[in-house]
């Protein structure tokens, strides 16, 4: 197949489509797309007709080092299959990196339709051993690395809407079960992933008027970041068996959320693992006691215990059982 390359390293050709054309014509940015879940998402979007900006710093599982190899390898994999992709190796947790990420999509493909925030790494420690640098590093890559690309993309989409070109824009953020329940030894990661849920809810409420839908996933899959968690599932399944922990199992939901077909779905959090998809219902008011006046401390405690007896038992944090 003949291909041609533009100044941004994108190789254009006729894609050999996968199962459909759900994202035909859409331009999708995936951060942290050099390996694991991000790579699976990028390939799945390309298989559905999207043109993909593959972002990755190429760092280690703890954020150390860096290489442009992983991003370029995934972009090459897409173009070799006949798709359209460009590698971006900037740091999305910086204002400059986030700006160049969006600019790469616009300059290479002329538009931006979907942002998948996925970049991250781990610095696991028990709280009493967790130092400030490890806290800051994880907060930076996960939470700031979601905020800055989201803010930059949202500014573009708002400008488009105000210019009379309302987008059909989608954002898929990546939280975690650790962000929903907590995870022993991952105080920094759990806090960052919980923050991503809060950011998702606010962004969905604020950006809907501009044609932007924002959702989050809490995936479970076998990646560099989870290899210890899923150590027993690391071995490849026997021939004919379903690989329940393959990252590719999560991507179909992400692709659908990133497509125009997800119209009307926003401000939601989904768990995705193996062949299971769950809508997480989040915080809702439960049993309530109202005396119409101020409680004394002992009375407040008695009321709280009575209310707790009428609620479902809280699920424990991961690793606490």
Q: Which residues are identified as catalytic?
A: 176, 189, 193
Matching residue, tokens 């059982």: 321
How long is the chain?
321
Distance CA 52, CA 11 (A): 11
Angular region, 277: left φ>0, alpha ψ -120 to 50, beta rest: beta
The percent helix, strand, coil of the chain (3-state, each to 5) is 40, 15, 45
Q: How many other CB atoms are there within 10 angstroms of residue 160's CB atom?
A: 18
Distance CA 241, CA 239 (A): 6
Distance CA 290, CA 303 (A): 9
For residue 224, the Cα-to-chain-centroid distance in whole angstroms is 16
Distance CA 117, CA 149 (A): 8
Q: How many other CB atoms are there within 10 angstroms of residue 318's CB atom?
A: 18
Matching residue, tokens 């359209």: 84
Distance CA 288, CA 257 (A): 35
Q: How far is CA 318 from CA 138, 160, 185, 191, in A?
A: 18, 42, 9, 14
Helix (H) or strand (E) holding 272: strand 269-273
Establish how many alpha carbons lie within 13 A of residue 232's alpha carbon, considering only the half-sphere containing its beta carbon: 0
């Amino acid at each position: 197949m003949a291909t041609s390359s533009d100044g941004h390293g994108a190789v254009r050709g006729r894609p050999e489509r996968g199962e459909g054309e759900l994202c035909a014509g859409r331009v999708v940015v995936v951060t942290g797309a050099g390996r694991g879940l991000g790579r699976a998402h990028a390939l799945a979007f390309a298989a559905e007709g999207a043109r993909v900006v593959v972002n990755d710093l190429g760092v280690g599982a703890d954020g150390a080092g860096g290489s442009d190899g992983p991003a370029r390898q995934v972009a090459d994999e897409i173009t070799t299959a006949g798709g359209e992709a460009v590698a971006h190796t900037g740091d999305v947790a910086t204002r400059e990196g986030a700006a160049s990420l969006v600019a790469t999509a616009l300059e290479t493909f002329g538009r931006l339709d979907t942002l998948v925030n996925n970049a991250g790494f781990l610095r696991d420690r028990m709280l009493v051993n967790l130092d400030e640098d490890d806290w800051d590093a994880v907060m930076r890559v996960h939470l700031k690395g979601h905020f800055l690309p989201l803010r930059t993309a949202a500014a573009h989409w708002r400008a488009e809407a105000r210019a009379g070109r309302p987008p059909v824009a989608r954002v898929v953020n990546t939280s975690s079960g650790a962000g929903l329940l907590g995870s022993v030894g991952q105080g920094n990661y759990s806090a960052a992933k919980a923050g991503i849920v809060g950011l998702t809810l606010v962004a969905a409420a604020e950006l809907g008027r501009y044609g932007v839908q924002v959702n989050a996933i809490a995936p479970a899959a076998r990646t560099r970041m989870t290899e210890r968690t899923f150590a027993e599932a690391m071995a490849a399944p026997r021939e004919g068996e379903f690989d329940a922990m393959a990252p590719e199992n999560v991507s179909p939901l992400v692709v659908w959320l990133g497509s125009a077909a997800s119209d009307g779905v926003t401000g939601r959090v989904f768990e995705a693992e193996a062949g299971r998809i769950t809508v997480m219902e989040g915080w809702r008011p439960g049993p309530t006691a109202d005396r119409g006046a101020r409680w004394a401390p002992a009375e407040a405690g008695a009321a709280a215990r009575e209310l707790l007896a009428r609620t479902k038992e809280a699920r424990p944090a991961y690793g606490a059982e």
